[in-house]
Amino acid sequence: MAQTVVVGDEHAHGEQGLHEPKSFLTRYIWSQDHKVIAIQYSITAIAVGLIALVLSWLMRMQIGFPSSLAFIDQDRYLQFVTMHGMIMVIYLLTALFLGGFGNYLIPLMIGARDMVFPYVNMLSYWTYLLSVLVLVASFFVPGGPTGAGWTLYPPQAILPGTPGQEWGIILMLVSLVIFVAAFTMGGLNYVTTVLQARTRGMTMMRLPLTVWSIFTSTILGLLAFPALFVSGVMMLLDRVLTTSFFMPTVVSMGQQLDHAGGSPLLFQHLFWFFGHPEVYIVALPAFGVVSDLISTHARKNIFGYRMMVWAILAIGVLSFIVWAHHMYVSGMNPYFGFFFATTTLIIAVPTAIKVYNWVLTLWEGDIHLTVPMLFALAFILTFVAGGMSGLFLGNVVVDVPLSDTYFVVAHFHMVMGVAPVLAVFGGMYHWYPKVTGRLLNDTLGKIHFWVTFLGTYAIYFPMHYLGFVGMPRRYYDLSGISAIPHSAQTLNAFITVVALVVGAAQALFLLNLVWSAFRGKPAGSNPWRATTLEWQTPETPPGHGNWGPRQPIVYRWAYDYSVPGAPEDFLPQNHPPERSGVSGAGADVRHGGH
Amino acid sequence: MAVAIVLAALVLVSVLFSVLSPWWFTPLASNWGMIDKTLFITFIITGIVFAAVSLFMAYAVFRFRHRDGAKAAYEPESKRLEIWLTGVTSVGIAAMLAPGLIVWDDYVTVPSEASVVEVVGQQWNWTFRLPGADGVLGTVDARRIGSDNPFGLNPDDPKGQDDVLVNANELRLPVGHPVKVVLRSIDVLHDFFVPQIRAKMDLVPGMVTYFWFTPEKVGTYEILCAELCGAGHSAMRGTVTVVEEAEYQPWLRGLPTFAQSQAGNGPGRRRDLAQDAGAPR
Amino acid sequence: MGLIRTLAAKPWVEAAEDIPAWGRLPLPTPRVGLLVFLAVVTVLFSLLVSAYLMRMALGDWVPMPVPPLLWANTLVLVLSCAVLHGAWAGARRGRLAAARTGFLAAGAGTAAFLVGQLVVWRQLDAAGFLVATNPANTFFYLLTALHGLHLLGGLVAWGRTAIRLGPDADLFRLRQSIGLCTVYWHFLLLVWVVLFALLLADDAGAASMAEIIRSICYGGRPGA
């Protein structure tokens, strides 16, 4: 780690020694440019996400129309459930938000030329790709991928009786361990870049909320992923060397095994020490992106910027002391329930503040209902709905009848599945013009928006009620449960149909992405008339090194929209103040350096 | 414009759905009405907040949609409003949390008069053990589990000799008596979940977990496994039959004790039934 | 408190004549990157130690004897760190030759430590303390392996610096590289000391602690 070339460190050596790509290979494949790496990350994440989307179709087919697809047996069903969850949470959302959005936006938004450790950044992507390949390979090994559920709870995950117990689980764990390494390399970059490479004038409190949230989310990841690493390595040892970290004495299928004395709960503690912050690792970037979308498209400063930053930090800190709310009925010491229910509900306060501030930003705004703005509004509604059901599950005693039912499935899909994905879409429609120089097609975008927003709401809102009924999750066969009325099957079929439609509608988005790259309306450098630095680059798409000969100087915060007395309804962050006559770079400002 | 209407309509549809849809909790059959009440409090508070925030958003989008020449206000923050909102939110949170914690205290405090029932899970069926005349369950050891001793009881423990074994997927309970359910698994995680009882708890190999409830309505209820336990997870079903005391005793007397089962074929030994149910592979 | 002052700033209040300096901490960037990485490694080993304590509480734990060779290995690592520190001091004073000798010696010492650890593994293995025999053994192998891998990673960085140690070396970069290595080595020495102390404490009877942890973490009784 230690030996990396530092780039963009301009005040150490005036004009930076950026590694200049010479050939096609170094420009697009082995590139150290944060923008190229971001695109590589995004394409890989979306590709693997499409696999997960198809898996969700297949599992929904089994739930909505049982046994209509003959090849889905109970083993395959569990394998689809598991791989869908794991891919979506880790390999799509985490990678896309941090590796994709983080990589592209951080240097541009803080006025840097690149990440501070570009070589490590490149390694991060290739390591991530390796983890994806190992993951995908598990579909092709004997026994198929693991079907242990994305939580991979032992002993089940490594015992016969669970599909993929032979090779799938091993590849899954190896892939996760590699992913953690990849994330750590990327994460070091994002954090250090935000701390060290901000351009002149870019104080921490002048950072756009997107940067704040990705920064905080990366810190959460750096501190939480080691728990996944540790539990993954330990379970590998249990599986391969028959050690007993998590394995007590068990009789599996009538066989006494060699394990003895281990604790399945130990795994759950480690897993959720990672798993809960992970929720915020994907939620926080969505918060940040949505804040910026709302402010830009409502032409109004984000309401309560400081409170928003504090809330991000508070959520980040609190997210490390709530993990056992996933374990209320796990058999852990029941008195933990008092503590974790309290911390969990406390975390709702900063989260609520963020929601209030988003809707208050709309108040007295000048709201342009662009596609990014539509997605931001949809995000708020979906997030609020999903957040509300979180209050049921966090409140320990209310969780008891609901845990492991479809209420949980509905909750986490809304709050950390659909809501972040809506933010991703909003972000993509918003920043695509900067990445390609062309706008995404508006009509396609609107169709995509309506189908996705209304469709996902129609899928997950009623699903909560199936949880009330008591419908347990991860069931291959839901028939014959007396507590569940027959009408619930109708609802399941309806949800499946909507899921198929919503999934298919994503083809419009992909089509739009490809088509607009060549035929889209030219966007100019700042189509949304936004204040933040990424829109002020001399070239669009930004060239190598981002800023031409001079990095921008920042004179104001990221939200100077509709400032009274200003000629236009936005003042870019590098727009010098009028009254003092300080004009840009010429000012004799001593910059404190080291 | 359209989006403002749709946002408001979604709130309306959501409320109507909650009121009109047939999907709600199954009728309660245990003492845990307090769980339902706490849940209902949470439902009302969160419902109001969801509607209020969404309708406010819809109204704001409608009222402040872009018009030519319009200009947004400039308002970085309002300390008073933010403090006020934080305060109201905290009160709402406390109103949900406080009853939750009080009921949780009940949940973890087993009444002293509760009788003990042991639930043993394995892939993919349920068996049960009752403490017998001495009211105490004998000690067990997973290493003793075998076809002649499916519960892994310690044959040298006098307390275990009179333990009553229910080597089948059906448990009967007398109505109106609190039960402390102690749970044990011999292979992987399972979860004892009867929707009508509301309470549930994981079965963890290597540990004994517990919860308690009082069956208050006579009837037959299905036991579901609510913790993924492998391929046969969804087929791991059982039955709890809550009966009057008069019906309970004859059933109990028909079951073998551990001593009887070791001596040979005790009366009412139903092993084959237990083996056949559940496992679909 | 700089942090609180930073976070309390009202960024929309414009002070026109005040263009803040480059935003950064008063540390070289590679050093910041290294510190962030060390935070990650700290969490990694903290979690392993927590898992060690929680697993220890489960009743079947048989502490491992501490092989005497571990003391010698520890001494070698301490000496390597001291020599490396000396090399760094030399580099800062411009004494390139001394720095070079010290730097190379520290790498050799570290390699010796790793070989020593492997010898300990062989000894334990020969004495019948296999990986899967007892969780105490498993943890010993796991902790030493992960610590060793981190040192090995350090040796890669060390090797890249060592290549550049020729007489025409860029002294500024060399100083920086040696400094980073020194910080990393000291950190891993600290980790090793903590792990070693844990093993010794375990051997000396941390059973009562295990009891406390058990009652906190597991509530329910472990299997009879």
Per-residue pLDDT of chain C (224 residues; tens, 9 = 90+): 478 888 888 888 865 445 555 567 788 899 999 999 999 999 999 999 999 988 888 888 888 888 999 999 999 999 999 999 999 999 888 888 888 899 999 999 999 999 999 999 999 999 999 988 899 999 999 999 999 999 999 999 999 988 887 777 777 888 889 999 999 999 999 999 999 999 888 777 666 666 666 666 655 444 33
ipTM: 0.92
Same domain assignment for residues B44 and B164: no
Contact assessment for residue A558 and residue A208, using Cβ atoms and an 8 Å cutoff: yes
Give the per-residue pLDDT at A354: 96
Whole-angstrom Cα Rg for chain B: 26
Segment A104-130, tens digit of pLDDT:
999 999 999 999 999 999 999 999 999
Mean pLDDT throughout B51-58?
A: 96
| CB A523, CB A513: distance < 8 Å | no
CB contact under 8 Å between B141 and C224, yes or no, is: yes
Instruction: Evaluate whether residue B124 is within a structural domain.
Output: yes
φ, ψ for residue A543 (rounded to 5)? -80, -175
CB contact under 8 A, A203 and C11: yes
CB within 8 Å: B82 and A252? no
Residues A330 and A267 sit within 8 Å (Cβ to Cβ): no
Give pLDDT, residue C219: 53
pLDDT given at position C46? 96
> Pairing between strand B179-185 and B115-122?
parallel
Record the pTM.
0.92
pLDDT of residue C66: 87
Instruction: Supply the CATH number for residue B163's domain.
Output: 2.60.40.420
CA distance A483 to chain B (A): 6
CB contact under 8 A, B76 and C220: no
Is B247 part of a structural domain of the chain? yes
Say yes or no: B150 and B251 in one domain: yes
Listed residues B107, B130, B163: the one ending a domain: B107
Q: Which chain B residue shows the shortest CA-CA distance from A359?
A: B57
Would you state the pLDDT for residue C22?
59
Backbone dihedral region for residue C134 (phi beyond 0: left; psi -120 to 50: alpha; all else: beta): beta
Q: Is the pLDDT of residue A7 over 90?
A: no
Domain that holds residue B84: 2-65+73-107
Q: Same domain for B224 and B257? A: yes
Cβ atoms < 10 Å from Cβ of B56: 16
pLDDT band at residue A19 using 50, 70 and 90 as cut-offs = low
C-alpha distance from residue C56 to each of A332, A516, B135 (Å): 17, 59, 33
Residues B103 and B127 reside in one and the same domain = no
Which amino acid is residue A226, in one-letter code? P
pLDDT at A9 over 70: no
Q: What is the mean pLDDT of chain A?
A: 91
Instruction: State how far the Cα of B150 lies from the Cα of B187, in Å rounded to an integer.
Output: 12
* Contacts with B81 from chain A: Cβ below 8 Å: 360
CB contact residues (below 8 A), chain C span 28-87, against chain A: 28-30, 32-34, 36-37, 39-40, 43-44, 47-48, 51, 54-55, 58-61
Answer yes or no: is C7 within a domain.
no
Q: Is C16 an 8 Å CB contact of chain A? A: yes
Give just the sign of the alpha carbon dihedral C216, C218, C219, C221: negative
Please tell me the predicted confidence (pLDDT) of residue A591.
38
Residue B272 lies in a domain: no
β B200-203/B170-174 pair status: unpaired
Q: Is B55 on the interface with C (CB under 8 A)?
A: no
Pairing of strands B164-166, B125-130: antiparallel
Q: CA nearest C152: which of A1, A21, A47, B34?
A: A1
C10 is a domain residue: no
Residue of C131, C161, C218 lying closest to A241 (CB–CB): C131
Q: Answer yes or no: do B61 and B127 share one domain.
A: no
Contact A254 B147 (CB under 8 A): yes
Q: Give the total number of structural domains in chain B.
A: 2
Instruction: Using CA atoms of C171, C175, C178, C181 in order, give the dihedral in degrees to the nearest 10.
Output: -140
Is residue B39 a part of any domain in this protein?
A: yes
Q: Which residue from A147, A173, A156, A179 is spatially nearest to A246, judged by alpha carbons?
A: A156
CA separation for the pair C214, A263 (Å, rounded): 11
Angular region, B178: left φ>0, alpha ψ -120 to 50, beta rest: beta
The tens digit of pLDDT for each residue in A232-244 reads: 999 999 999 999 9
> Is the CB of C16 inside 8 Å of chain B's CB atoms?
no
**What proportion of chain A, given as a percentage, has pLDDT over 90?**
85
The pLDDT assigned to C224 comes to 31
Q: Chains near B, with 3+ CB pairs < 8 A?
A: A, C
C23 in contact with chain A, both atoms CB, cutoff 8 A: yes
Q: Say which of B139, B142, B210 has its CB closest to residue C220.
A: B210
Residues 6 or more apart whose CB falls under 8 angstroms from that of A274 comprise A224, A225, A226, A227, A228, A231
d(CA B237, CA C197): 50
Set of chain A residues whose Cβ sits within 8 Å of the Cβ of C157: 1-3
Alpha-carbon torsion B135, B136, B138, B140, what sign? positive
Taking only the tens place, the pLDDT of each residue in A57-109 is: 999 999 999 989 999 999 999 999 999 999 999 999 999 999 999 999 999 99
Among B187, B208, B211, which would you mutate to test the C interface (most chain C Cβ atoms within 10 Å of its Cβ)? B208
Instruction: Answer whether residue C12 is part of any domain.
Output: no
User: Nearest to residue A118, comparing CAs of A7, A218, A10, A14?
Assistant: A7
The interaxial angle of helices A168-196 and C29-56, nearest 10 deg, is 140
**Cβ separation of A248 and B206 shorter than 8 Å?**
yes
Contact status, residue A449 vs residue A429, Cβ threshold 8 Å: no
CB B237: neighbour CB atoms within 10 A?
A: 18
pLDDT (0 to 100) of residue C107: 95
* CATH at C59: 1.20.120.80
pLDDT at B81: 94
Domain assignment present for B148: yes
Distance from CA of A191 to the nearest CA of C (A): 8
Asked if the Cβ–Cβ distance from A226 to C7 is below 8 Å, we say no
At A22, is the secondary structure helix, strand, or coil?
Answer: coil
CB neighbours of residue B205 within 10 Å: 29
Q: How far is A445 from chain B (nearest CA, A)?
A: 14
Chain C interface disruption, residue of B143, B207, B210, most C CBs within 10 A: B207
Residue type, A355: V
Lowest mean pLDDT across A446-455, B115-124, B269-278: B269-278
Provide the pLDDT confidence category of residue A560 given band limits of 50, 70 and 90.
very high
Q: Which domain holds residue C194?
A: 30-211
Contact B273, B169 (CB under 8 A): yes
Contact C32, C25 (CB under 8 A): yes
Q: Are residues B223 and B176 in the same domain?
A: yes
Distance from CA of residue C106 to its chain's centroid? 16
Same domain, B244 and B120: yes
Query: Does any domain span residue B275?
Result: no
One-letter-per-residue 3-state SS of chain B = CHHHHHHHHHHHHHHHHHHHCCCCCCCCCECCHHHHHHHHHHHHHHHHHHHHHHHHHHHHHHHCECCCCCCCCCCCCCHHHHHHHHHHHHHHHHHHHHHHHHHHHHHHCCCCCCEEEEEEEECCEEEEEECCCCCCCCCECHHHCECCECCCECCCCHHHHCCEEECCCEEEEECCCCEEEEEEECCCCEEEECCCCCCEEEECECECEEEEECECCCEEEEEEECCCCCCCHHHCCEEEEEECHHHHHHHHHCCCEHHHHHHCCCCCCCHHHHHHCCCCC
The pLDDT value recorded for residue A585 is 39
Find the CB nearest A359 among B60, B101, B195: B60
Whether C77 is covered by a domain: the verdict is yes
* A253 contacts in chain B (CB < 8 Å): 123, 187
Check B140 against C224: CB less than 8 A apart: yes
Angle between helices C135-163 and C171-203 (to 10 degrees): 170
Asked if B3 and A369 come within 8 Å (Cβ–Cβ), the reply is yes
Residue B122 and residue B253 share a domain: yes
B141 vs B150: CA distance, rounded Å: 11
Burial (CB < 10 A; 0-12, 13-18, 19+), residue A501, is middle
Same structural domain for residues B29 and B120?
no
State the DSSP code for C206: -
Given a contact as 3+ CB pairs under 8 Å, which chains touch C?
A: A, B
Give me the mean pLDDT over the A2-9 stretch.
Answer: 37
Do C177 and A2 lie within an 8 Å CB cutoff? yes
Q: How far apart are CA C65 and CA C52, in angstroms?
A: 16
Under 8 Å between Cβ of B166 and B102: no
Q: Is B78 on the interface with C (CB under 8 A)?
A: no
Task: Note whether residue B189 is domain-resident.
Answer: yes
Q: Considering CB atoms only, which of C16, C177, C216 is closest to A579?
A: C16
Asked if residue C177 belongs to a domain, the reply is yes
- Whether chain C has a CB inside 8 Å of the CB on B140: the answer is yes
Note whether A304 contacts B90, CB cutoff 8 Å.
no
In tens, the pLDDT along B123-157 reads: 999 999 999 888 899 999 989 998 889 999 999 99
Look at residue A30 in the predicted model and tell me its pLDDT: 86
Judge whether B277 lies within some domain.
no
Residue recorded with tokens 């035929």: A519
Residue C217 lies in a domain: no
From the list A109, A107, A113, A20, the residue with the least C-alpha distance to A551 is A113
Note whether B82 and B42 are same-domain residues: yes
B89 and B119 belong to one structural domain: no
3-state secondary structure of A141: coil
Q: How many domains does chain C have?
A: 1
pLDDT of the residue at C108: 96
Q: Range with the lowest mean pLDDT among A22-36, A173-187, A359-373, C6-20?
A: C6-20
Same domain as B173, residue B101: no
Report whether A82 contacts A58 (CB < 8 A): no
B273 contacts chain C (CB < 8 A): no
Q: How far apart are CA A274 and CA A323, in angstroms?
A: 8
Residue A14's pLDDT is what? 35
How is residue B210 written in tokens?
A: 């517990």
Q: Do B76 and C12 touch (CB under 8 A)?
A: yes
Distance CA A281, CA A319 (A): 10
Report if residue C93 sits inside a domain.
yes
Residue A579's pLDDT is 58
DSSP code for A92: I
Locate A60 and state its tokens: 């929904």
Going by C-beta distance under 8 Å and a sequence separation of 6 or more, which residues neighbour residue A427?
A101, A289, A293, A372
- What is the mean predicted confidence (pLDDT) over A539-555? 91
Q: Please give, rounded to a whole number of angstroms, the shortest distance from the CA of A245 to a CA of chain C.
A: 7
Copy the structure tokens of residue A23: 């050939």
